[in-house]
Structure 1
């Protein structure tokens, strides 16, 4: 079990405000799985106007960020950058609204050389809101 705060996460992935969505990692087993959280606030500028719902594209991006943390904590990908390559499948089962704590669960399912697949879930109050299969590519880190 490995717990990570915002600062530690930002040392690992390149995302920054306003596109940094992971608040906390509550469990991480390198090369296997991660559980993380995103706190969806009523003051969150990413909520769809008038609906108080998090757009589906941003839920996928949040899941991809959690997946990036898992991928980059793998010894084989340390010091590199992970990119979302494609979405194999996604099911949106219920909305994620303001005031929610979105629990993100990601399991590594397949890795080959510099690419792989993760199975993801976003849960709210223990209920699955979104499932998605995400495909990723890892490349050397580019320093600006």
Structure 2
């Protein structure tokens, strides 16, 4: 499939599992929609009370760790990068390179649906940089610039 044929498509959890090496409990994106090649997309994460990090972060006041929100942004961006490679079926590894200008606006709790709004800001060879905003019910809860490199297995 070329980038032109993928414009504004969406992928479900089965396709995400085929693209990314991450698995439960570290897979932080359930669905990706509005994919415009590797330029932009919106990823979704249904935050559930039975996720293991809520046992200790924090008892009786569950808050999703900010680093996991940023990880969800990076996974969302990484999935569309792999999806738009010339050979998307060949296994790839996505390595986090940078996190810049991360800000957290409000807690994310069980029952929330996180939306990762990712927009490509630069690309060079096998490296990509994205600006991301995480939203819950339309309100920005976190934002960051993330960079990653894709390497073949």
- Regarding TM over 0.5, the answer is yes
Shift of 1:77: 7.1
1:133 is matched with 145
Shift of 1:17: 1.4
TM-score with structure 2 setting the length: 0.86
User: Counterparts of 1:90 and 1:96 in 2: how far apart (Å)?
Assistant: 15
User: Counterparts of 1:138 and 1:49 in 2: how far apart (Å)?
Assistant: 34
Q: Which residue of 44, 58, 73 corresponds with 1:49?
A: 58
2:107 is matched with 95
User: Counterparts of 1:126 and 1:101 in 2: how far apart (Å)?
Assistant: 10
TM-score with structure 1 setting the length: 0.91
User: Counterparts of 1:83 and 1:77 in 2: how far apart (Å)?
Assistant: 18
CA deviation profile, 1:71-122 (whole Å, cap 9, x unmatched): 1122357333221111122011111111100011111110011212100110
1:2 is matched with 9
Q: Confirm whether residue 63 of structure 1 aligns to residue 73 of structure 2.
A: yes
2:121 is matched with 109
1:19 is matched with 26
> How many aligned residue pairs are there?
141
SS in structure 2 of the partner of residue 84 of structure 1: strand
Q: Confirm whether residue 118 of structure 1 aligns to residue 130 of structure 2.
A: yes
Shift of 1:35: 0.6
| Cα 1:46–1:77 shift into 2, 3 Å | farther
